[in-house]
Structure 1
Amino acid sequence: MAESIETSKNVELTEDDLQNKSKGQLIKLAGQLRDRRNDLNQMASERASERDDLNAKTREKVDEAQEHREKRDELNELVQEHKQKRNELNAEANELFDKVEEMKSDLELDDGKDLEQLESEIEDLEFKQQTEVLSSEEEKELIEKIESKREEYQSRKEKVGQNDDLDGLVEEAEEVRSEASTHHQKVTELADKAQEHHNQMIEAYREADDIRDEADEMHEKFVDAQEAADRHHEDFVRVQKRLRELDKQEEEEKQSSRDQKRKEAEEEAEEIYQRFKEGETLDTEDLMKLQKAGRL
């Protein structure tokens, strides 16, 4: 970051300086003002360049943030699409599972024992009949029980056999549920990515703000240097104007002196000429003065 201007190096000019300093002193002062002005202009130029670089970096960060914003919004749109598809599939799966439950209820497959259990119970009863010594009454009851179990087994087997669509419906419902789960997984993945881009967007905007603050500070320092350079330039111009005034004054004084000398020479020549007309003998110096005055 650029340092502050060293005010101790600045050149001060007062009205008293302009009016009372000698020409030589003013020439020296003009040189000092010019040199300090050039230094300050160089400083201002460097600060302007650094400010412009910082502003360019700010724009880069803003563009980066905007890219993350656009990517986040695209991902959020995809999240909504997958979420909608997931919800539609879950609703479809729920309907299918409801149908499965209805079919099971109609077939009473949820009540009582399944086929494997009934088959096992029949085998146990038949084994008991074959291995145990039973009274006639007991054996009769056992046979009736076995028959009842066989009838129940056959009835349930026929019901299952009559509904070949049940397994297919269960499989379809599970496939739909699985597809819904796939979309749910995409929702989670895309939402995580969208959050990453959101966080990166926030960070890029924060960095842009920090760099912009640096650029603003550098602009203030540029203004300080430029204003100081402009003041030194204005004072330099004032001194130059005063020097021209002094040059003009000197020239006028010289011209006045020349005019005065010429007038005096003409008056002297006129006096010599009058003496010459009166017959006075002139020496060489007098003749030269007459010649110089154009009287000979």
Structure 2
Amino acid sequence: MVTKQEVLEEFDVSELETANNVELSDEKLENGSKGQLIKLAGQLRDRRNELNQMASERASKRDDLNAKTREKVDEAQKHREKRDELNEQVQEHKQQRNELNAKANELFDQVEQMKSDLELDDGTDIEELEEEIEQLEFRQQTEVLSTEDERELIEKIENKRKELKQRKEKVEDSGELEELIDEAESVRSDASQHHQKVTELADEAQEHHNQMIEAYRAADEIRDKADEMHELFVEAQEAADRHHEDFVRVQKRLRELDKEEEEERKDERAEQREKAKEEAEEIYQQFKEGETLDTEDLMKLQKAGLL
């Protein structure tokens, strides 16, 4: 089983340092000054971008591993298809071999039957008879024998020659037998060729089977690495998402503070306008009573719309 550390080292992937993460507490969000929150927003944004880049790199490596997994699975499938195709051929050649062997057995049974009918199975075969005769003649020519022994030897040679002649006549009269023997041997030879093909194809099919197993094993190993890389991607992406959510919360809080400041400025302006109005009314009353007004007083009356 592939471990996280093995994947980190093999693919030169940086460990996610949690110490570099930016933490946002409710207390800091609610009570932090605007300056502090602006600084915090920048830190959250930068860390989010860093984590998104890390997640993107891990996703890319994960996708590469998944692609390699698919390649190995495709390779295994091709070996499977070739193995199955070869096994089909093996079965075809086996069937033909078995059919030919059965036919050859029938033919050889017919040969044996024909030999029996021709009485060729009884006694010594032609080659043995010829060898025996040759040995007896050599003995006659090289050994010194008594008259009785030589007469017996000559008689034995003559009997062997008669037997040989009879057997040769039978064979000559059995041309059909020779043809049957040739046919049987030819069929047996064809069966042997199919058997050889069975052996060759079976070996080739086994090789493709072994390569299929190896490809599936490699695919499983790469898939384990892809799964571990996906976990690393999720780890970085979740951290990036959390920083983004906190960044959005800070931005929202900053907008609230801006709104509060704007409301305060509005109230302040309204208060200032009310105060100016009251002052202008006092000046206007003084004017009506005949007091002399300076330029600044006149400008205040004009600004208040009383002139």
Normalised by the length of structure 1, the TM-score is 0.90
Pick from 214, 225, 244 the counterpart of residue 233 of structure 1.
244
Q: Secondary structure at the match of 2:183?
A: helix
Contact 1:61 1:204 in 2 (8 A): yes
Runs (5+) with no aligned partner, structure 2: 1-10
Contact 1:125 1:142 in 2 (8 A): no
Q: Distance in 2 between matches of 1:118 and 1:234?
A: 109
Paired amino acid for 1:279: G
Paired amino acid for 1:71: K
Number of the residue aligned with 1:7: 18
Contact 2:133 2:161 in 1 (8 A): no
Pick from 78, 81, 85 the counterpart of residue 67 of structure 1.
78
Kindly provide the CA deviation profile for residues 106-148 of structure 1, in whole angstroms up to 9, marking residues without a partner as x.
Answer: 22223223345546549749958xx96647xx95x77866664
Kindly provide the CA deviation profile for residues 54-110 of structure 1, in whole angstroms up to 9, marking residues without a partner as x.
Answer: 111111111110000000000000000011111111111111111222222222223
> In the alignment, does 2:68 pair up with 1:57?
yes
154 and 283 in structure 1: CA distance in 2 versus 1, 3 angstrom threshold: closer
Q: Distance in 1 between matches of 2:301 and 2:127?
A: 160
Runs (5+) with no aligned partner, structure 1: none
Number of the residue aligned with 1:192: 203
157 and 238 in structure 1: CA distance in 2 versus 1, 3 angstrom threshold: same
> In the alignment, does 2:234 pair up with 1:217?
no
Contact 2:86 2:202 in 1 (8 A): yes
Bigger Cα displacement from structure 2, 107-116 vs 202-211: 107-116
> In the alignment, does 2:215 pair up with 1:204?
yes
Contact 2:140 2:153 in 1 (8 A): no
Q: Distance in 2 between matches of 1:289 and 1:126?
A: 167
Contact 2:68 2:222 in 1 (8 A): yes
Contact 2:137 2:157 in 1 (8 A): no
Number of the residue aligned with 2:179: 168
> In the alignment, does 2:166 pair up with 1:155?
yes
Contact 1:47 1:218 in 2 (8 A): yes
Q: Distance in 2 between matches of 1:126 and 1:218?
A: 94
C-alpha displacement of 1:48: 1.3
Q: Distance in 2 between matches of 1:57 and 1:91?
A: 51
Contact 1:125 1:146 in 2 (8 A): no
142 and 44 in structure 1: CA distance in 2 versus 1, 3 angstrom threshold: closer
C-alpha displacement of 1:200: 0.5
Number of the residue aligned with 1:292: 303
Alignment of structure 1 residues 1-296 onto 2, 5 Å: 1=11, 2-115=13-126, 118=129, 121=133, 124=137, 134=147, 148-296=159-307
Bigger Cα displacement from structure 2, 148-157 vs 212-221: 148-157
274 and 150 in structure 1: CA distance in 2 versus 1, 3 angstrom threshold: closer
11 and 110 in structure 1: CA distance in 2 versus 1, 3 angstrom threshold: same
Contact 1:54 1:214 in 2 (8 A): yes
273 and 213 in structure 1: CA distance in 2 versus 1, 3 angstrom threshold: same
Q: Distance in 2 between matches of 1:212 and 1:121?
A: 81
Aligned residues: 292
Aligned-residue sequence identity (percent) comes to 74
Paired amino acid for 1:55: N
C-alpha displacement of 1:152: 2.9
Q: Distance in 2 between matches of 1:17 and 1:288?
A: 48
